[in-house]
């Protein structure tokens, strides 16, 4: 692990501990409804420290964890993990700030808000979310890897394709066919049948015509 990444983990852990301390201090020694000024100041200062340190901790830990996953897998997997950890971290920070301010969010409220948000997001971004979750499944189950030569069987895609995998992203899997590059949605790839060739043929992009063959293609041309 490189020095900058170690510093990222260290900064994230320190910021996380600071956020926990602000949460405990704000709840134990602060009171936003108090008649005196000091408890109110403690609440607002604790909430501000919690918000800033929580955001810093979330970003640093998500970035470091994404980099670690990238080293173990591919860049797209690291990006997916970084996005998920960031979203969860921000949600936890917001709930903690509400708790310090005395606006405690109950489980019932979370269920209602989460249900409504899930319905709205599901309707508005059904295709995008489907591709994102399909990307996570593909990246962790790894039915194929970048550079593999595979055969895809899919009715919605129009039949059978023999392709070389160029990239696995959060939305598309980029492949190369005999006709050129093709971007296939992750959800379609997850639903398709995929098989590996035992001995992958040479990638057509890597083929180079030998000089001797070039001279033999048109016999007698020099005589014309």
pLDDT of residue 137: 81
Domain ranges of the chain: 3-105, 144-201
How far from the centroid of its chain's Cα atoms is residue 46's Cα?
Answer: 31
Check residue 223 and report its DSSP letter: G
Q: What's the rounded Cα separation, in Å, for the pair 114 and 120?
A: 10
| Backbone φ/ψ region at 180: left (φ over 0), alpha (ψ -120 to 50), beta | left
Q: How many residues does the chain have?
A: 224
Contact present, 163 and 150 (Cβ < 8 Å) = yes
Q: What's the rounded Cα separation, in Å, for the pair 44 and 58?
A: 21
pLDDT of residue 217: 46
pLDDT of residue 224: 35
This prediction's pTM: 0.54
Contact present, 50 and 22 (Cβ < 8 Å) = yes
Contact present, 114 and 122 (Cβ < 8 Å) = no
pLDDT in tens, 85-100: 888 888 888 888 888 8
What is the CATH code for 144-201? Answer: 2.30.30.60
Q: What angle do CA 3, 13, 139 make, to 5 degrees?
A: 75
pLDDT of residue 57: 92
Helices within the chain (DSSP H only): 3-29, 37-72, 75-100, 107-124, 126-141, 186-191, 211-216
How many CA atoms are closer than 13 Å to the CA of 66, on its beta-carbon side? 18
- Each residue's pLDDT, cut to its tens digit, for the chain (224 residues) gives 555 566 778 888 898 899 888 888 887 777 766 677 677 888 888 889 999 999 999 999 888 888 877 776 666 667 777 888 888 888 888 888 888 887 766 556 666 666 766 666 666 556 767 777 787 788 777 888 888 888 888 887 778 888 898 888 778 888 888 888 888 888 888 888 888 776 545 555 555 444 444 444 444 434 43
């Amino acid at each position: 692990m490189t020095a900058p990444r170690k510093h990222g983990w260290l900064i994230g852990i320190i910021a996380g501990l600071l956020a926990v301390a602000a949460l405990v201090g704000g709840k134990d020694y602060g009171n936003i409804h108090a008649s005196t000024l000091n408890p109110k100041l403690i609440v607002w200062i604790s909430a501000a420290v919690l918000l800033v340190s929580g955001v810093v901790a979330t970003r640093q830990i998500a970035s470091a964890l994404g980099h670690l996953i990238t080293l173990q897998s591919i860049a797209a997997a690291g990006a997916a993990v970084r996005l998920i950890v960031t979203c969860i971290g921000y949600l936890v920070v917001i709930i903690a700030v509400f708790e310090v301010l005395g606006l405690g969010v109950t489980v019932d409220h979370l269920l209602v808000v989460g249900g409504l948000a899930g319905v709205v997001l599901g309707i508005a971004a059904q295709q995008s979310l489907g591709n994102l979750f399909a990307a996570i499944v593909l990246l962790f189950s790894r039915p194929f890897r970048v550079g593999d030569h595979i055969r895809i069987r899919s009715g919605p895609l129009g039949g059978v394709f023999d392709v070389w995998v160029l990239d696995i992203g959060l939305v598309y899997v980029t492949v190369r066919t005999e006709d050129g590059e093709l971007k296939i949605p992750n959800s379609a790839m997850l639903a398709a049948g995929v098989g590996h060739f035992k001995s992958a043929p040479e990638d057509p992009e890597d083929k180079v015509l030998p000089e001797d063959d070039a001279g033999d293609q048109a016999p007698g041309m020099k005589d014309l």
